[in-house]
A and B are shown apart, each in its own frame.
Chain A
Amino acid sequence: MTLLRTQNLSAFYGDFQALFGVDVTVEQGETVAVIGANGAGKTTLLRTIAGALAAAPEAVLLDDAPIGARTPHEIVRLGIAMVPEGRRLFQSLSVEENLMLGAHSGRPGPWSLKRVYQLFPRLSELRRLPATSLSGGQQQMAAVGRALMSNPRLLLCDELSLGLAPVIIRDIYQCLGAITAEGTTVVLVEQDINRALDASTRFYCLQEGRLALSAPTKNFDRAALTAAYFGL
């Protein structure tokens, strides 16, 4: 069943057009990677789905209902949560307060403070500390936990690996398995192609705001990906 679909999605920063008629489909329960070079429009795609950038109403469909013109807080209520690039934890809130803020929309579901602490036991020990006193990897866990607290049907992860050591990236991606096991659908944006392909079943490759390639992650043509990635 199709959870999310974009059709002929275009996005703009002022006069600058960042996405040109992008069509992507995300099925219920799958993990989809979006890869591409710097400036290809990956983050823009996620931000448009999350409502932070304006789109035509019919350009983004959740369960076939148009949500392109909804505001970000309405979209959270509909079940799409975002782990923003660079974590963006609230600096004057403690770790636990950051997590609880994620539950602001009050959506019911499997995720609670207790469940998030089970997933990331380290956070439980650090819960009284200011969020910004955490290490990068711990902050990333808190950012993922904060998004989960809204009990999303679709989790958008923007550059989970950004600025983190490989061993920590591995830990975080292992936790992703527990998240998808709850039935949560995930869209991953990554610069680290191999990491993204390992974690997903399908991928889209963007190039300069256009869809360049879409394929399952098993047995795809490496040469075609290279061509799509670099625009050769």
Chain B
Amino acid sequence: MQWLNILIQGSLLGGIYALFAIGLSMSFGIMRLVNIAHGDFIVLSGYVAFVVVQGTGFDPFSSLLIVVPVMFVVGYALQRGLLNQTLSGGLLPPLLVTFGISIIIQNGLLQGFGAYDHRLQEGSIETASLRLPGGIDVGVFPLLVFAVAVLSIASLQFLFYRTGLGRAFRAVSDDADTAELMGIDNRKLYALALGIAMIFTAIAGVLFGIRTIFDPASGPIRLILAFEAVIIGGLGSMWGTLIGGIVLGVAQSIGAALDPTWQILAGHLAFLAILILRPNGLFPRTRD
């Protein structure tokens, strides 16, 4: 029963990792952009929510009404104004530029908010729990986060496979030059893609900010978790990304159950093991 508990708690933890990974997976899948600043955008979203909560008295959930559009605009403008210019020269230029953006965000946040921890407070839901048959207690908030992750991925799947915009995203991912010849404005589409990716980044940032403290330097660890979830799941596969998050979460829970200091290490070891056994991840889709 203890192991079932670990499995459930780990899976729920995986929900937040999957949310971390959605934006990264999208920007790589559609424009082959490896966004090194992705973790910092998650943290930035947390700070934007913090400012909104302070300024308006909204609770963190309601602050999403403002944080989500703000981050969409940030993503759209960043891709349109800067990142589009880096995409023609191979993988390295966007890596360097987003690395620079990562440093700017971290230091900007340090300047503006100091090095202290911040947290978003959502009240009683944070500690509420449900008792499942068999005596397993499940936190309401982790359950909610997991549901949001599943819903996010389902809605993206719908976007990709049931809408004209999604068709254009897939076409550009397959062959950007030919897509342009068929009348698609790739630059505008890329800007929309990063904007949409930032919607999920914002949701991840706010939910994680409720769950855990964050400070200006906590972006890179989020980035690594997101990378691991994407790669375990297989590049370009959204449901794979969810599975990747769950694998990470379960591995961390198992590690923590054996010895609390092993939690993070166990996740990385699971990632390495999958990289060795299945270098393309569990459900690879994107071909280069």
Which residues of A are interface residues toward B (Cβ below 8 A)?
Answer: 50, 52, 71-73, 76-77, 81-82, 84, 88, 90-93, 97, 100-102, 104-105, 146-147, 150
Q: How many residues on the B side are at the interface (Cβ–Cβ under 8 A)?
A: 20
Contact, CB under 8 Å: A73 / B185:
yes
0/1 interface trace, chain B 161-174, chain A, CB 8 Å (1 if under): 00010011011011
Q: Say yes or no: B171 contacts A72, CB within 8 Å.
A: no
13 sample A-B contacts, Cβ–Cβ < 8 Å, listed by A number: A50-B181, A71-B180, A73-B183, A76-B183, A77-B183, A88-B178, A90-B174, A91-B175, A93-B171, A97-B167, A101-B182, A101-B184, A104-B183
Q: Which residues of A contact B181 (CB under 8 A)?
A: 50, 52, 72, 76, 82, 84
The smallest beta-carbon distance between A133 and chain B, in angstroms, is: 15
Which listed residue (B167, B285, B287) contacts A100, Cβ 8 A?
A: B167
By the criterion CB–CB under 8 Å, are A104 and B180 in contact? no
**Which A residue sits closest to B168, measured CB to CB?**
A104
Q: Are A52 and B167 neighbours in the complex by a CB distance under 8 Å?
A: no
Cβ contact within 8 Å between A104 and B184 = yes
Interface check B177, CB cutoff 8 A: yes
- Nearest opposing residue in chain A for B161, CB measure: A97
Distance between Cα atoms of A100 and B183 in the complex (Å): 12
Chain B residues at the A interface, C-beta cutoff of 8 Å? 164, 167-168, 170-171, 173-175, 177-186, 285, 287
Residue numbers in A under 8 Å from B180 (CB-CB) = 52, 71-73
CA distance A64 to B237 in the complex (A): 47
Complexed CA–CA distance, A150 and B183 (Å): 8
Contact between B183 and A52, CB atoms less than 8 A apart: no
Chain B residues with Cβ below 8 Å from A81 are 182
Complex contacts, B164 vs chain A, CB 8 Å:
100, 104
| C-alpha spacing A90/B171, complex, angstroms | 6
- Taking the closest CB of chain A, its distance from the CB of B87, in whole angstroms, is 15
Known: A52-B177, A100-B164, A104-B164. A90 touches B170 (CB 8 A): yes
C-alpha gap A206/B120 in the complex (Å): 69
Given contacts A81-B182, A90-B174, 18 further A-B contacts (CB under 8 A): A52-B177, A71-B180, A72-B180, A73-B184, A73-B186, A76-B181, A76-B183, A88-B175, A90-B171, A90-B179, A92-B173, A92-B285, A100-B167, A101-B179, A101-B184, A104-B168, A105-B183, A150-B182
Residues of B within 8 A of A102 (CB): 182-183
Closest 3 CB pairs of A and B: A76-B183, A105-B183, A88-B178
Q: Which residue of A lies closest to B186 (CB)?
A: A73
| Residues of B with C-beta under 8 A to A92 | 170, 173-174, 285
Return the chain B residue nearest A146 by Cβ: B182
- Closest CB of chain B to A16's CB: distance in Å? 18
Cβ–Cβ < 8 Å partners of A71 in chain B:
180, 185
In the complex, which residues of chain A have a beta carbon less than 8 angstroms from the beta carbon of B174? 90-93
CA distance A101 to B178 in the complex (A): 11
For the complex, what is the distance from the CA of A115 to the CA of B192, rounded to whole Å? 32
Q: In the assembly, what is the distance between CA of A139 and CA of B261, in Å?
A: 57
Alpha-carbon gap, A82 to B177, bound state (A)? 12
Residue of B nearest to A82 (CB): B181
Given contacts A76-B182, A146-B182, contact A101 B171 (CB under 8 A): yes
A93-B183 contact in complex given A52-B177, A84-B178, A88-B178, C-beta closer than 8 Å: no
Bound Cα distance A139, B52 (Å): 53
In the bound assembly, the distance between CA atoms of A84 and B181 in angstroms comes to 9
Question: Across the interface, which residues of A come within 8 angstroms of B285, CB to CB?
Answer: 92
B168–A101 touching, CB < 8 Å: yes
CB distance from B234 to the nearest CB of A (A): 14
| In the bound complex, CA of A231 to CA of B177 (Å) | 33
Chain A residues, Cβ within 8 Å of B182: 76, 81, 101-102, 104, 146-147, 150
Shortest distance from the beta carbon of B91 to any chain A beta carbon, whole Å: 21
For B173, the chain A residues whose CB sits under 8 A away are 92
Closest A residue, CB atoms, query B173: A92
Contacts of A77 in B (CB 8 A): 183
Smallest CB separation, A107 vs chain B (Å): 8
**Residue of A at shortest CB range from B165?**
A104
- Contact partners of A146 in chain B: CB under 8 A: 182
